[in-house]
Chains A and B, each alone.
Chain A
Amino acid sequence: MDLLNHLAVGFGVALTPTNVLYALVGSLVGTLIGVLPGIGPVATIAMLLPTTYALSPVSALVMLAAIYYGAQYGGSTTSILLNMPGETSSAVTCLDGYQMARKGQAGAALSISALGSFFAGTVATILVATVAVPLSELALKFGPSEYFSLMVLGLIGAVVLASGSLVKAIAMVVTGLLLGIVGTDVNSGTQRFAFGVPELSDGIGVVSVAMGLFGFAEIIANLETTEVRELVTSKVKGFWLTKEQIRAAWPAVLRGTGLGSVLGILPGGGAMLSSFASYSIEKKLSKDPSQFGKGAIQGVAGPESANNAGAQTSFIPLLTLGIPENAVMAMMVGAMTIHNIQPGPQVMSSNPALFWGLIASMWVGNLMLVILNLPLIGMWIKLLTVPYRVLYPAILLFCAIGVYTISNASFDVSQTAFFGLVGIVFLKLGCEPAPLLLGFVLGPMMEENLRRALLLSRGDPTIFLTRPISAGMLIAAVLLILLIALPNIRKRREEAFAEEAG
């Protein structure tokens, strides 16, 4: 069987001591930032990206990927114990997880979320491995017009599923595309929007943009509010689940896994959307919905499985098509580019060890997380007692050193601070930074494919509509926009997001 051969190659790579070590480091760092509020996976990956220069590309990607799914485990811990989501994707876990903890079932809640996550991670790993081959083969047949349309669809899909104003989000994508073309034009050698600054001739670094928008802006926003943090549960025991709990939880785990796997693949999907969707489905399917919000184990098991499944299957579009669907995946594109790997369908054939190794490492990382997470919970809780006034200057320091080391340039540090300021302005104006980052990463690729497609068609723009796959994707993109623009669906979408916020 091909699948088994591929996985054998993958585990051969993932189980080398070095890669196990980096998966462990990534998982632990991920859990740590998942536990800590105020710093998310995007900023963390940006912070650690420069330190991966010295590593092999496989080890670097293994570690960075582990940060993302590790954050899902860590985020649930604080949701359950402190009623405080460390990550947005764990926000719904607060509802029932914290109630379980108050009833003295903190151990059970943590166990089911870890086991559910592990189960979801296993299924998602197999799913990634299964669909990767056919999807990549399909993508290899794509010409420039298909690729351009695919990127349009991907970007539109990503903003449709994001909360907030659709037009604003599309405008942020376009702003990102513009930022992405700063630097030397590959075809003509012209310096674009570089203002004679030599550092800008290579373009703006993805680390600067991400760290500024997601790291610095977030820290400054946090400083504006005075935090209140209470440590509720100090001792956690009773990790074993009762028979009734298992009986109640396993269908939720299965549903959450399925839902998360599907939503993770969609553009704009990923961990957060999956967990919210799973919670509302569990509540609707429940025989006794009134139990939700009062410590229903399904309300923990479903979303926690879903967010982990979604986190992992969101790698599928990245690995097979080269299209990032959320901000974390945009950072992975940045990481691959730094290591001279052009993301896309060719990675699987040109670099099978990296491709299958990364996939297999996800399962290895999940296994380590489930084993390590429960015993380490005491340590994570201790870390939470470190006040934010101590934490944020340290985060700033590591960001500043990290961004400096990319090319030993003071300019990069100032540039990052500039994007921090930009991030604050966007935050105040209600513009989400994630679409900008996606556009930024896709900018050069999009221009290149547009250029090639129109060169082939001798300037005829109808090429995008006469080639069936390309036309199909553009129609899908238009349909998505129309769906949102139609009044009654818009209303329902707003209600859904209001529910999430509440």
Chain B
Amino acid sequence: MEKIRNPKDFWAGILFICLGIAAIVLGSAYTLGTAARMGPGYFPRILGILLIALGSIVALNGLRTDGPRIPRFHWKPTFIVLGTVVIFGNVVTYLGLALSTVFLIVGASSASHEFRWKESVVIGVLLAALAVGVFIVGLHLQLPIWPVFITAG
């Protein structure tokens, strides 16, 4: 095995090859049909083959040419930001828009180098008021403002 000289291209190529294989394997359950009467599996099959071919070119290119290294992944901010968004989306119907907003703002802010507790809580409260005003009062969005277990009880 040669040394990987252009890691960005090499791994991008591998990724495309995997996607292509996945498309073909997962798509093998669908009727292929003929060119004249294409089944649902026909187009995905073409795309899968194309993707494997293109991925191979990119990956080979990664072996033959020199290129920059893959920049470091910053997992912490990535998962804090995406995680708070996912949690927000899943709790907003129970917790209500107000508290969920404060959670999202404080949570997402903590991903920054310059995180400041008090500041983010204040901004969270302000934005919660704004969000309730715009989306629930203004646009009549079907969301509770306060936690359902309090208002229902």
Query: A residues touching B (Cβ–Cβ < 8 Å)?
Result: 51, 54, 165, 167-168, 170-171, 174-175, 177-178, 181, 185, 187-188, 190, 192-193, 216, 219-220, 223-224, 226, 387-390, 392-394, 396-397, 399-401, 403-405, 408, 410, 412-414, 416-417, 420-421, 424-425, 428-431, 447, 450-451, 454-455, 457-461
| A residues near B123, Cβ cutoff 8 Å | 390, 393-394
The answer to whether B44 touches A192 (Cβ under 8 A) is: yes
The answer to whether A223 touches B40 (Cβ under 8 A) is: no
Nearest-CB distance from A371 to chain B (Å)?
Answer: 27
Identity of the chain A residue whose Cβ is nearest the Cβ of B7 in the assembled complex: A429
| B residues near A178, Cβ cutoff 8 Å | 19, 23, 44, 47-48, 51
Nearest-CB distance from B75 to chain A (Å)?
Answer: 10
A459–B73 Cα gap in the complex (Å)? 47
| B residues near A420, Cβ cutoff 8 Å | 81-82, 85
Known: A175-B51, A224-B77, A429-B8. A216 touches B27 (CB 8 A): no
**A-B residue pairs in contact (CB < 8 Å), sample of 20:** A165-B9, A168-B12, A170-B54, A174-B54, A175-B51, A178-B44, A178-B47, A178-B51, A188-B31, A216-B85, A223-B112, A390-B119, A392-B112, A397-B108, A399-B85, A401-B141, A410-B93, A420-B85, A457-B36, A460-B35
B151 within 8 A of A: no
| B residues near A414, Cβ cutoff 8 Å | 86, 89-90
A399–B104 Cα gap in the complex (Å)? 11
* B interface SS class: helix
Q: What is the total number of residues of chain B having a CB less than 8 Å from a CB of chain A?
A: 71
Total residue contacts A-B, CB cutoff 8 A: 187
A404–B77 Cα gap in the complex (Å)? 22
Known: A174-B50, A175-B19. A181 touches B43 (CB 8 A): yes
| B residues near A175, Cβ cutoff 8 Å | 16, 19, 51
| A residues near B73, Cβ cutoff 8 Å | 424, 428
Residues 99-144 of B at the A interface (beta carbon under 8 Å): 101, 104-105, 108-109, 111-116, 119-120, 123-124, 127, 131, 135, 139, 141-142
The answer to whether B11 touches A429 (Cβ under 8 A) is: yes
Contact partner, A396, options B58, B93, B104, B142, Cβ 8 Å: B104
| A residues near B48, Cβ cutoff 8 Å | 178
* A interface SS class: helix
A171–B15 Cα gap in the complex (Å)? 10
B71 within 8 A of A: yes
Known: A223-B111, A400-B104, A424-B78. A451 touches B9 (CB 8 A): no
Identity of the chain A residue whose Cβ is nearest the Cβ of B123 in the assembled complex: A390
Nearest-CB distance from A11 to chain B (Å)?
Answer: 29
The answer to whether A171 touches B40 (Cβ under 8 A) is: no
Nearest-CB distance from A260 to chain B (Å)?
Answer: 32
Contact partner, B85, options A223, A400, A429, A431, Cβ 8 Å: A400
Apart from A400-B85, A404-B92, A410-B93, 17 more pairs, CB < 8 Å: A168-B9, A168-B58, A181-B44, A188-B40, A190-B30, A190-B31, A216-B81, A390-B123, A393-B124, A393-B127, A394-B105, A399-B85, A400-B88, A405-B135, A413-B89, A458-B36, A459-B34
| Most B C-beta atoms less than 10 A away, residue of A216, A389, A404, A421 | A389
| B residues near A168, Cβ cutoff 8 Å | 9, 12, 58
The answer to whether A430 touches B9 (Cβ under 8 A) is: yes
B63 within 8 A of A: no
| B residues near A177, Cβ cutoff 8 Å | 47
Query: B residues touching A (Cβ–Cβ < 8 Å)?
Result: 8-9, 11-12, 15-16, 19, 23, 26-27, 30-31, 34-40, 42-44, 47-48, 50-51, 54-55, 57-58, 61, 68, 70-71, 73-74, 77-78, 81-86, 88-90, 92-93, 97, 101, 104-105, 108-109, 111-116, 119-120, 123-124, 127, 131, 135, 139, 141-142
The answer to whether B27 touches A193 (Cβ under 8 A) is: yes
| B residues near A431, Cβ cutoff 8 Å | 12
| A residues near B109, Cβ cutoff 8 Å | 389-390, 393
The answer to whether B115 touches A389 (Cβ under 8 A) is: yes
Known: A193-B26, A393-B120, A430-B9. A167 touches B36 (CB 8 A): no
Identity of the chain A residue whose Cβ is nearest the Cβ of B23 in the assembled complex: A178
Known: A387-B114, A397-B127, A414-B89. A454 touches B38 (CB 8 A): yes
Identity of the chain B residue whose Cβ is nearest the Cβ of A419 in the assembled complex: B82
The 9 closest A-B pairs by CB, nearest first: A413-B89, A459-B36, A459-B35, A185-B40, A171-B54, A190-B40, A429-B12, A393-B108, A417-B82
A174–B53 Cα gap in the complex (Å)? 11
| Most B C-beta atoms less than 10 A away, residue of A181, A220, A396, A413 | A396
Contact partner, A171, options B16, B84, B89, B105, Cβ 8 Å: B16
Contact partner, B36, options A190, A410, A454, Cβ 8 Å: A454
| B residues near A185, Cβ cutoff 8 Å | 30, 40
Nearest-CB distance from B80 to chain A (Å)?
Answer: 9
A188–B40 Cα gap in the complex (Å)? 7
A334–B109 Cα gap in the complex (Å)? 31
Identity of the chain A residue whose Cβ is nearest the Cβ of B107 in the assembled complex: A393
A430–B19 Cα gap in the complex (Å)? 17
Known: A175-B19, A405-B135, A431-B12. A389 touches B112 (CB 8 A): yes
| B residues near A393, Cβ cutoff 8 Å | 104-105, 108-109, 120, 123-124, 127
